[in-house]
């Protein structure tokens, strides 16, 4: 009891200035109203006593409130609370309670977000390590075999060199894609937006990739596009998008073909890449734009690819305020489409 009183008196010194001013005002007012200056000493003692007791009471109340707040903050720091509703302050601190709850929720979300980023980073490093290891070990194996004598064997030497070159190209593509996606996600990739005519642009992309379709004896066609139709975007980055979508369509199509078409709307143009390939399971469509995600890992590596292409496509189109729409049926084919501003 005595210790608490001493703490209250010690804490009340913060209100000393206010205490003296308020007491002086009260004494002056009472003296003026009564008009009896003979009793000013008694009046002063009474006023001082009442004000002192009031300050002691207020000091104790404020000290208890601060102790309550300190306890809550300590509990938060020690991860005592699971949810914000467990944080409870006295009624007169309700506004502060709401503020602390909001702060707690934000801190909790920030921590969870950082943990998620850490998991994504760890997964990304693991995936990159695995993807790099595969071509490097393959190249190393072929070169060691050649050095151990196979270089003098005309039956295998050229074949081994061709396979080493193939894996070298895969490694180069992977590194280029890693650089691209790093630049996109960090905001370092410069975009050059302008209007350009769509028909000659799409036809040139198709012509450049036609040899891939011919190697598999499938068709690659671009439907007629209205002359003079212009769209707004970065030609080089959009070429990356189209190259990736068309190459993927060719890779996973064994018969039939790939068709590129354009649908014109009032303010937008929809570009579609449709194939008659193997299709994508419906439950995996939402994941195909994740980095290194492959629907069929064994087949994907057999036909080539880094596992980053569709992720790059997604980021480039998001920079164009667009997104990729996917329709696919197993055994029938897939259709990838996106919109561009006219």
Q: Within 13 A of 128's CA, how many CA atoms are on the CB side?
A: 13
Closest CA to 198 of 247, 250, 260: 260
Q: What is the pTM of this model?
A: 0.59
Structure tokens at 48: 């001082």
pLDDT for res 325: 93
pLDDT in tens, the chain (342 residues): 556 656 655 655 666 666 667 667 776 676 666 665 566 666 667 766 776 677 667 767 777 777 788 888 888 888 888 888 888 888 777 888 888 888 888 888 888 888 887 777 777 777 777 777 877 888 888 888 888 888 888 887 888 888 888 888 878 877 877 777 777 777 777 788 999 999 999 999 999 999 889 989 999 999 999 989 999 999 989 998 999 999 999 998 989 999 999 999 989 999 999 999 998 888 888 888 887 776 655 444 555 566 788 888 998 999 899 999 999 988 899 999 999 998
Closest CA to 112 of 86, 79, 88: 79
Query: In angstroms, rounded to a whole number, what is the distance separating the alpha carbons of residues 258 and 220?
Result: 5
pLDDT for res 294: 67
Q: Can you point out the beta strands (E) in the chain?
A: 194-197, 219-222, 230-233, 257-264, 268-275, 325-329, 333-341
Query: In angstroms, rounded to a whole number, what is the distance separating the alpha carbons of residues 205 and 242?
Result: 8
pLDDT for res 202: 94
pLDDT for res 201: 94
Residues 315/240, Cβ–Cβ less than 8 Å: no
In the chain, where the domains are located: 1-80, 120-186, 194-341
pLDDT for res 298: 47
Under DSSP, the state recorded for 120 is H
Closest CA to 281 of 326, 218, 338: 326
Query: In angstroms, rounded to a whole number, what is the distance separating the alpha carbons of residues 264 and 280?
Result: 27
pLDDT for res 14: 61
């Amino acid at each position: 009891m005595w210790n608490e009183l001493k703490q209250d008196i010690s804490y009340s010194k913060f209100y000393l200035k206010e205490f003296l001013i308020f007491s002086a005002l009260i004494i002056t007012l009472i003296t003026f109203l009564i008009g009896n200056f003979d009793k000013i000493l008694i009046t002063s003692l009474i006023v001082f006593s009442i004000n002192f007791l009031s300050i002691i009471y207020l000091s104790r109340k404020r000290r208890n409130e601060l102790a309550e707040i300190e306890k809550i903050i300590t509990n938060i720091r020690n991860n005592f609370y699971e949810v914000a509703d467990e944080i409870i302050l006295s009624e007169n601190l309700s506004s502060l309670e709401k503020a602390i709850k909001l702060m707690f929720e934000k801190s909790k979300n920030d921590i969870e977000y950082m943990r998620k980023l850490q998991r994504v980073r760890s997964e990304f490093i693991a995936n990159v390590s695995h993807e790099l290891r595969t071509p490097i070990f393959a190249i190393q194996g072929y070169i060691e075999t050649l050095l151990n004598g196979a270089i003098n064997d005309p039956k295998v030497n050229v074949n081994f060199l061709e396979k080493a070159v193939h894996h070298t190209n895969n490694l180069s593509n992977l590194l280029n894609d890693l650089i691209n996606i790093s630049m996109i996600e960090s905001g370092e990739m410069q975009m050059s937006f302008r209007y350009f005519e769509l028909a000659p642009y799409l036809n040139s992309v198709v012509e450049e990739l036609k040899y891939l379709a011919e190697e598999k004896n499938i068709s690659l066609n671009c439907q007629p596009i209205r002359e003079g139709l212009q769209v707004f975007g970065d030609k080089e980055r959009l070429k990356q998008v189209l190259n990736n979508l068309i190459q993927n369509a060719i890779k996973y199509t064994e018969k039939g073909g790939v068709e590129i078409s354009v649908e014109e709307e009032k303010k937008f143009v929809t570009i579609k890449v449709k194939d008659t390939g193997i299709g994508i399971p419906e439950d995996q469509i939402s994941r195909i734009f994740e980095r290194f995600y492959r629907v069929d890992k064994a087949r994907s590596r057999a036909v080539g690819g880094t596992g980053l292409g569709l992720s790059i496509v997604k980021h480039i189109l998001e920079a164009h305020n667009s997104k990729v729409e996917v329709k696919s049926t197993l055994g029938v084919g897939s259709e990838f489409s996106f919109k561009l501003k006219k």
